[in-house]
Each structure stands twice: as C-alpha cells, then as structure tokens.
Structure 1
Amino acid sequence: QRGLTVDLCNRTADKAQALAAHLGTGIAGHGNDAIARLLPEADVLVNTTSLGMIHQPPLDLDLGPMKPGATVYDVVYVPLETDLLKRAAARGLRPVDGLGMLLHQGVEGFRRWFGITPEVTPDLRRLLQDDIRAKTPGA
C-alpha cells in the first residue's frame, strides 16, 4: 500500500522465496548472491543472522554501496556494537542494535507470564546495557 518492498535474502534462494510467499505481497525472496545488487537501493539493512554475535565471525558484507543515511539494524545484542554496526557508523549510516527488539519481545513475554505489562524506558535500556557490558567484557 505504501510502495514499500522487502527483499529477503538467505543462503538458499528457495527458502527465501518460500518465506516471502508465506509472508505476502511486497516481499521478494533472493539468494545471498543478490545482496550486492540490492544494497544500493536499500533504505534499511537488517541482519537477522548470528554472525557478529559474541564468539561468532563478523558478517562479511560491503556496506559501501548503501545510500548515505541508510539504517543498518543488527538484531545481535551481545556485543551491543557489532563489527557491522561499527562499520555502518564509520560510513555515516545509522546503526541500530538489537537491544530494542530484545526489550520489546521481553515485554510480551513478561505480560504473558506475570499479567503485568512493563514499559520500555531509557532507564530500562540503560540497565540492560550495563548488565550486558558487565557480564561480557568487550561487548
């Protein structure tokens, strides 16, 4: 409805295409070989892999073709600042870590388990950031 498209990439093009078909209109599935072709037009890049997570290799992706000011979102939250996000910031892109996703998923789980809906606030985010940093030096 808003002229927005989502390009979903996966190591296996067939899996990406099947997921895209399941999710509905405006979503196209591709193999990872399409990433270089898609990046120059992307307003947002979302990494949903474990690459970049602590004890995992970084996501090897050239951000050079991305538009100035594009957003790079990494669902990884340990470390808070992944190699991908550091490289995005260095290029003037907008880096977003996965902590917000974790917090908002936690709200729903907490509500279901305890019948109370906590509010995600800057203080709650800071508390979790401090906890992650304390428990994972270098993160």
Structure 2
Amino acid sequence: MTLVRDIREDDAQDWRRLWAGYNDFYEASVPTEVTEYTWRRLLDPTSSLIGRIAEIDARVVGFSVSVLHDSSWTSSPICYLEDLFVDPSLRSGGVGRALIQDLVDLGRARGWSRLYWHTQANNQRARRLYDAFVEADDFVRYRLTL
C-alpha cells in the first residue's frame, strides 16, 4: 500500500536520489544551488511550494512538487503540479495515481479551486495515468526563458 505524506527533513537523501532520476528522465540539468534552494523551500511552511512523498513499506518511492498560487479567475488558490516522479522500478503500480489523488484530496479539503499539470506530448505512460483523472485541454504552452 502506498502512503503519501508531507516531505520531511529526513527525506533529503531519498528526495535527492529521486530528483536526480527525474532530471535524468527529462534530460535536464538543475544546478546544485537551485536544487538546494528548492529543498529548503519544500521544508518551509511559509513557501508556496508543496512537497509530498510516497512511501511503500517505509521506503520513499516517489514525490510530487506543487506550487499553490492565486488566480485572476477565481477567489480560491490554484495548485500547479510541477514535478511528479516515481521510482522507475515501481511505475504502473499505483504510486503516481496515489500522488495525484493525494493532491486532489488535499485540494478539496483545503478549498483549492483547481489542480493542473502538463507533460511532454510523447510521455504516453504518464498520459494514460493523467487521462484517468481528466482529459487534456486544448491549451498550448509558451515558455520564454528570461
């Protein structure tokens, strides 16, 4: 059974291991100082970042990182699921589903108006999971690096 909970200080080594796997998957390179800054914000209760950990038998097997933000379209917060990663050896075993359902449940309990995320168009395994929650919309993302 998968347990999903808040991230804790003692998750540092496991989170960094999974974070490295996440960045490898997306062929990304996040500077060490940004990773450390992200880690500190995940532990900071005043930060807009939300860090959740998935465990199976007390072993950390996945995480989600989300950003809670205001919107001009609603009076209650919106949650952007920015990062979701599951240990590759446990994919398709329900861990990703548990991490998303956890955010759905948190959002309902805390009065969020919306939860949203995106993925690469060719990430078929993830898209099968995401499609079980909601159909993709017709928006196109634009990203300008500053």
- Bin the TM-score by the shorter chain: 0.3 to 0.5
- Higher strand fraction: Structure 1 or Structure 2? 2
Q: Scaled by the length of structure 1, what TM-score is found?
A: 0.34
Larger CA Rg, structure 1 vs 2: 1
Q: Which has the higher contact order (CA 8 A, sep 6+)?
A: 2
